[in-house]
Homo-oligomer: A and B are copies of this chain.
């Protein structure tokens, strides 16, 4: 078998394995059917956010291709590790270790040069060490809030999440995109005023 053919076999096995991402369901609710969003849909929606909103990034010379690569692969680890709800602090203990093991297995399916490239991209996303990672994180935090606002706070209310926690959890958006955070603060305030997000627990 030629080198090209052998690489394609490995790469397409990885692409087939990744199909499992379509079955990892999140707490967020889609706007039309009101069913739970899955990670593949979420990852696509983030891609769309990136190409539409990149002009607003804090970093003027953002490498948009690297941001897209990060958001395309950022949730693959949940194939093994499952989805961890953004406000579930108990489940968050040990989350990074579970996800790092998943990254070893999944990216390890690829030819070794790509395994290194994509594992490094996932580490970059997780560490928030670059403007690209901080912008990717900004859209990853913004998109579920947007869906929550468009579904009258469905996921927030099911879990008793307050405005204070939403603001705490998501203010990292400003590190990647302060204009988007300004928009989000206003959107959160409007959700409170509409009665879709509570200000006190219980």
Contact = CB atoms under 8 A, between A and B. Distances in A.
Nearest to A182: B5
Given A8-B179, A146-B12, A45 B30 contact: no
- Quick one: copies of this chain in the complex? 2
Contacts of A11: 52-53
Nearest to A19: B31
A31 B16 contact: yes
A33 interface: yes
A4 B41 contact: no
A61 interface: no
8 contacts: A4-B179, A8-B179, A11-B52, A18-B48, A22-B37, A40-B41, A40-B44, A43-B47
